Structure 1
Amino acid sequence: MTMAQRDTYTPETLLAVAVEVFIERGYDGTSMEHLSRAAGISKSSIYHHVRGKEELLRRAVGRALDGLFGILEEPGAEGGRAVERLEYVTRRTAEVLMAELPYVTLLLRVRGNTQTERWAMERRREFDHRVTDLLKAAAAEGDLRADVDLRLATRLLFGMINSIVEWYRPKDDGGGLERDQVADAVVRLAFDGLRRA
């Protein structure tokens, strides 16, 4: 059911519609008129809930970032050998990406044209650095192959995970794979190649 078919809406459903429109048209190519039409409500009704489209963008990418940073505070990311924490964070990152697919898709597409986009990109880099630190710690503990450049490994790991937004569709939306199948494959492919034999 689209927003245009609904008699009522909430800030959450308005945000979901905004994310769809931002992904389809690009943030810069989206006007409040586009959002109003997609939601099936007046622009003044949108302004009742938010100051403008940049606030919607901040809420959307903030949701994705909160999900990613929340992983780093989970017990599996905080205890044990670095390689075990790294595997945990990798699996959970793939899971969060799939659970919050439209929000993470939008996060990965911001280009830094607005203050909110620059903030989101900086936070993404911070998350990436935290994962890179885990890779370095796992290498220092002797659990990763010495013949793999860590900067390259970091880029390939994030490239593999982030590419999921381009092809993954939830099974209940007609996709063919369960989330845990994808997360298992990411961890297996990455760490069978990274772990020291």
Structure 2
Amino acid sequence: MVQPNDRSGQGGGVGTAAGERTARRDTYTPQTLLEVAVRVFNERGYDGTSMEHLSRAAGISKSSIYHHVRGKEELLRRAVSHALDGLFGVLEEPAAREGRAVDRLAHVIRRTTEVLMERLPHVTLLLRVRGNTETERWALERRRKFDQRVAELLRQAVADGTLRPGADPRLATRLLFGMINSLVEWYRPHPEGPRVAPEIVEGVLTTALAGLGLPGGAPPAR
């Protein structure tokens, strides 16, 4: 994270401070700014965050932020796009597109959980959007499309008899992602360890498939 400018005045005057701000802007990157914005949005809420808040958190002037983006909504779109691209990328993986429906579903559950852990701050922000802006409404619509594709996998798995007959795919999808998405409230990776915890991923998968009616709750072969 970029640290705030040193305003102590020690070791230089106005010219030195101006030079430091220029150097900071020159070394700043859109990715660095995005990381700061995601953290502040998650801490304060998107509606409760101003450009002044972002400026203070980043340690650069508002004009320097505008050098990279048009405003805070562009930062929001970049952040939720990172989360959504990860989720939709799962659906394009070969194991999500080929084979029995239940095997594809198991892959999607496993990989969705991994993506949530890998992109935890961005997914956390995605799950908190409420549809108050154009970007938020766009994000909510993409989330619905993702849910619909998973619900279709559930329908196929029920139809071929590998999951409990009569299960409501839409309800099952909501319950499934309610469990997976709850990780943003309590999962915190160790700062010096891997972001993904395999034991949690497998626990989510086994619990999900047991609830959906796979005999014994055992996950399909990988």
Match of 1:133 in 2: 152
| Partner residue of 2:187 out of 163, 168, 180 | 168
Calculate percent identity across the aligned residue pairs: 69
The Cα RMSD (Å) is: 1.9
User: Compared with structure 1, are the counterparts of its residues 179 and 35 closer, same or farther at alpha carbon in structure 2 (3 Å cutoff)?
Assistant: same
Match of 1:188 in 2: 206
Question: Does the 8 Å contact 2:110/2:205 carry over to 1?
Answer: yes
Gap regions ≥5 residues in structure 2: 6-22, 216-222
Question: Does the 8 Å contact 2:110/2:201 carry over to 1?
Answer: yes
Does 2:101 match 1:82? yes
CA distance in 2, matches of 1:196, 1:10: 47
CA distance in 1, matches of 2:169, 2:146: 16
Match of 1:62 in 2: 81
In the comparison of the two structures, how many residue pairs are matched? 196
Query: Please, which moves more after superposition, 62-71 or 178-187?
Result: 178-187
Q: CA deviation at 1:193?
A: 2.5
SS, match of residue 163 in structure 2: coil
Question: Does the 8 Å contact 2:90/2:112 carry over to 1?
Answer: yes
CA distance in 2, matches of 1:18, 1:82: 39
Question: Does the 8 Å contact 2:4/2:59 carry over to 1?
Answer: yes
The residue type equivalent to 2:120 in the other structure is: L
Query: Please, which moves more after superposition, 6-15 or 155-164?
Result: 6-15
Question: Does the 8 Å contact 2:2/2:32 carry over to 1?
Answer: no
Query: So what's the TM-score if we normalise by structure 2?
Result: 0.83
Match of 1:72 in 2: 91
Question: Does the 8 Å contact 2:118/2:196 carry over to 1?
Answer: no
Q: CA deviation at 1:10?
A: 1.2
Match of 2:33 in 1: 14
Match of 2:71 in 1: 52
Query: Please, which moves more after superposition, 25-34 or 4-13?
Result: 4-13
CA distance in 1, matches of 2:80, 2:54: 17
User: Compared with structure 1, are the counterparts of its residues 80 and 125 closer, same or farther at alpha carbon in structure 2 (3 Å cutoff)?
Assistant: same
Q: CA deviation at 1:154?
A: 1.2
Question: Does the 8 Å contact 2:152/2:169 carry over to 1?
Answer: no
SS, match of residue 191 in structure 2: helix
The residue type equivalent to 1:4 in the other structure is: P
User: Compared with structure 1, are the counterparts of its residues 172 and 144 closer, same or farther at alpha carbon in structure 2 (3 Å cutoff)?
Assistant: same
Match of 1:151 in 2: 170
| Partner residue of 1:112 out of 124, 127, 131 | 131
Q: Which has more radius of gyration? A: 2
Question: Does the 8 Å contact 1:3/1:17 carry over to 2?
Answer: no
Q: CA deviation at 1:195?
A: 3.3
Question: Does the 8 Å contact 1:171/1:178 carry over to 2?
Answer: no
SS, match of residue 172 in structure 1: coil
Match of 1:4 in 2: 4
Q: CA deviation at 1:2?
A: 4.1
The residue type equivalent to 2:170 in the other structure is: R
Question: Does the 8 Å contact 1:23/1:106 carry over to 2?
Answer: yes
